[in-house]
Amino acid sequence: DAALAALADPAAFARRWPAAKGQEPMVLAVGDGNHSLATAKAYWEELKPTLTEEQRRTHPARWCLAEVCNVHSPAIEPIHRVVFGVSAKELYAALDAWDRRQGSSTTASDQRLRLADACGESAVALANPPAPLTVGSVEAFLADYLPRHPGVTVDYIHGESVAMALAADPAKPATAILLPDFAKADLFKGVVLGGVLPRKTFSMGHAEEKRYYNECRVIGL
């Protein structure tokens, strides 16, 4: 209780996150991914009016299944992007032009990524990232780029080797945007300074382990 109370102290919060001074302190961060807590909560709110007060206290839908995972686990890895319909050279030029429009800095920031296609791989360092995390800046770029290129699509890929394989066919232009290993300490930084983590920031479990989505059994009430 004392540790949680300390997290809620505005002065302590401001010392830890100077850029967020004056902001409501964050005590707990809730992860709401594919197994959506928001969906479960919405279902519970729909169900509640049909139950008595006694039933509400014990009904299974009142509760959610939470997975406790060490944020420093090596199983937590970045989710890469593959952009179909454009070469890495073309995407690099578009990303560079977009980066210049974000600000006037010419000094590379600590946000780095790689672009890869059938012709090879290139490293990119953003000079004017608009988001606190690299993945957020990439999402901002794609949100600007995709509507202006209707023939180009994006998919979110688990596993660097899988992303590179999808972009390796010279007959089908595609570019893998390879994100850096997820810095575990950046998780809370991303939430505090960015409000929420960008979509598809990281995955718990490697690509081949996603087969469990299909191997699980249905849990019925």
CA 145 to centroid of chain Cα atoms: 18
Residues pairing with 84 in the sheet = 153, 174
**Dist CA 59 CA 51 (whole Å):** 9
- pLDDT reported for residue 192: 81
**Dist CA 68 CA 54 (whole Å):** 29
Q: Is 24 left (phi over 0), alpha (psi -120 to 50) or beta?
A: beta
- pLDDT reported for residue 32: 64
**Dist CA 15 CA 9 (whole Å):** 10
Q: Is 141 left (phi over 0), alpha (psi -120 to 50) or beta?
A: alpha
* Distances, alpha carbon 103 to alpha carbons 99, 113, 128, in Å: 7, 19, 5
* Distances, alpha carbon 209 to alpha carbons 28, 46, 59, 78, 206, in Å: 28, 33, 32, 15, 5
For 44, other C-beta atoms within 10 Å of its C-beta total: 17
For residues 196, 106, 83, 214, the Cα torsion angle rounded to the nearest 10 degrees is -30
Closest-CA residue to 114 (of 156, 82, 144): 82
* Distances, alpha carbon 91 to alpha carbons 60, 116, 145, 175, 203, in Å: 49, 10, 9, 8, 25
Given a cut of 70, the residues of the chain with pLDDT beneath it are 31-35, 67-69, 204-207, 209-221
pLDDT digits (tens, 9 = 90+) for 31-85: 666 557 888 888 999 999 999 999 999 999 998 877 666 777 777 788 999 999 9
Q: 74 in helix, strand or coil?
A: coil
- pLDDT reported for residue 155: 95
- pLDDT reported for residue 1: 87
Residues pairing with 114 in the sheet = 123, 178
Which pTM value belongs to this model?
0.73
- pLDDT reported for residue 205: 66
- pLDDT reported for residue 215: 67
66: phi then psi, degrees, rounded to nearest 5: -110, 135
